Amino acid sequence: MAQKAKRMKKPGGVAALDDNGLFRSVFQHIQTGIVIIDPEHHTIIDANPIAEAIIGEKREELIGHVCHGLICPAQNGACPVTDLKMHLENTERTIINKTGERVSILKTVATLPFQGKNYLVESFVDITDRKKAEKRRIALLGYMNESVLRVRHPLELTCSNLRQIADQVRSGDFDPDDTGMELRIQGNNLEQIAKNLTDLADAVAEEEREIPEQFRRFLSGT
């Protein structure tokens, strides 16, 4: 225990770790984009490899440039953190990449005091794939809702036909062969509806982009 306490009291702290290259190593290898910004002039001080990959620019090309318009869509004087005083922690934002496209990110901004000055540490992860998946899921749920509403009509027709067959049987005014054929037709209709609904549910579960073509043809009556 005495040895442990002695290690805890050993001087060094941030400066010592930085001198040993540990912070730089973490900065380089962490799987999150990190950009360090001087808030006074909004200039980029540093960027790690993941940030380079998301932005599409080399670190050397980013350092010294103002973040507005380069990687941040906010206008000069409207910085969400320094001007609008927003607290960004795992907040959905956008970042501009090299081609000018806006990339959806989950962003956190923290203030880092260093050598008597404060810096902004912006960390972010690319959530483009997650956003696409959400859009696909919403679209598929919309398709499913619309399709279920549209399938009500053939179901209602089948129910009506079955009631008519039941009335004919009850009255005794029916031909057994014709009635048997009608029942088989209605049974096939119900089986097809059930199969198509199952196919649609599978498509939603697999996050496919479209309603299964067979179901689409069924709904359109082709």
- Cβ atoms within 10 Å, residue 32: 14
Do the beta carbons of residue 143 and residue 211 sit within 8 Å? yes
What global pTM score does this model have?
0.59
Residue at a domain's end among 126, 148, 165: 126
**What does the block give as tokens for 92?**
């959905």
Q: How many domains does the chain have?
A: 2
Do the beta carbons of residue 90 and residue 108 sit within 8 Å? yes
Task: Give residue 208's pLDDT band: very low, low, confident or very high (50, 70, 90).
Answer: low
| Cross-strand partners of 108 | 123
- Do 154 and 122 have their domain in common? no
Give all strands (DSSP E) within the chain, no chain letters: 33-38, 43-47, 91-96, 102-114, 117-126
Report pLDDT digits (tens) over 79-131: 888 888 888 988 999 999 999 999 999 999 999 888 888 999 999 999 998 88
Q: Span 39-53, mean pLDDT?
A: 93
Structural domain includes residue 208: yes
Q: Span 51-70, mean pLDDT?
A: 92
pLDDT at 2 over 50: no
Structural domain includes residue 151: yes
Say which residue the tokens 């005794």 belong to: 172
Structural domain includes residue 178: yes
Task: Please give the mean pLDDT across all residues of the chain.
Answer: 80
Task: Give residue 10's pLDDT band: very low, low, confident or very high (50, 70, 90).
Answer: very low
Structural domain span for residue 136? 131-220
- Cβ atoms within 10 Å, residue 190: 15
Q: What is the CATH number of the domain that holds 43?
A: 3.30.450.20
Structural domain includes residue 64: yes
Element holding 190 (H helix, E strand):
helix 176-205
Q: Span 185-205, mean pLDDT?
A: 78
Q: Span 182-205, mean pLDDT?
A: 79
Residue at a domain's end among 126, 157, 190: 126
Q: Residue 103 carries which side chain, given as an amino acid letter?
A: V
Do the beta carbons of residue 142 and residue 124 sit within 8 Å? no
